[in-house]
Amino acid sequence: MSDTSAAPNAWDTARPFPGSPPGISDRRDTIDTPDGRFWELSESGWDAMLGYLADPATLARCVETRHHQVEVKIIDRAGERTFFEPRTADDQAIIDEAANSYLRDMGLPERPSGYRWFQRLPDDLTVRDIDEAVYEAIKYLPVDHHPAEAVPAIRAALEHLYRR
């Protein structure tokens, strides 16, 4: 497991997102603000890990105020019907636990719920650059490696990207 006790908890030190975040964004979108370019981390444990392992000063957050929906598909004798329902607190708890379970496996602190998370990008960096650098950094790890074994390589790749 990674020792994160020496470093400040990046979730706790995240600054407020500068300005108004977009209503909808894709993780590949770049969001321009007066304080720089950002990308929105998805609700996945993978994105949470990427956000956490990069420089904590790059994290920003805002309270989640959007109303999410879940797609419901019913298939029965009458045929197939698809509709949308509001995401429930139980639905959100399942999403949050999945991400936090991954973070715990990585040896990282859990991400607080109720927020949208963003990360500032250096001027010439894209989310694709982040993904490619991280995949390159871990490509030689054994297929069955424990997630925490990837932390040093991922952290080094992110440090290199953010310091270039």
Q: Which pair of tokens denotes residue 36?
A: 């720089």
Q: Other CB atoms closer than 10 Å to residue 74's CB: what's the count?
A: 10
Dist. CA 33–CA 20, nearest whole Å:
9
pTM to 2 decimals?
0.84
The single residue listed with the structure tokens 């636990």 is 97
Using CB atoms within 10 Å of the CB of residue 120, give its burial: 0 to 12 exposed, 13 to 18 middle, 19+ buried. Answer: buried
Banded model confidence at residue 6, pLDDT cuts 50, 70, 90 = low
Answer yes or no: are the C-beta atoms of 39 and 28 closer than 8 Å. yes
122-138 burial, b if ≥16 CB within 10 A, otherwise e?
eeebebeebeebbeebe
Mean pLDDT of 38-49: 94
Predicted local distance difference test score (pLDDT) of residue 38 = 94
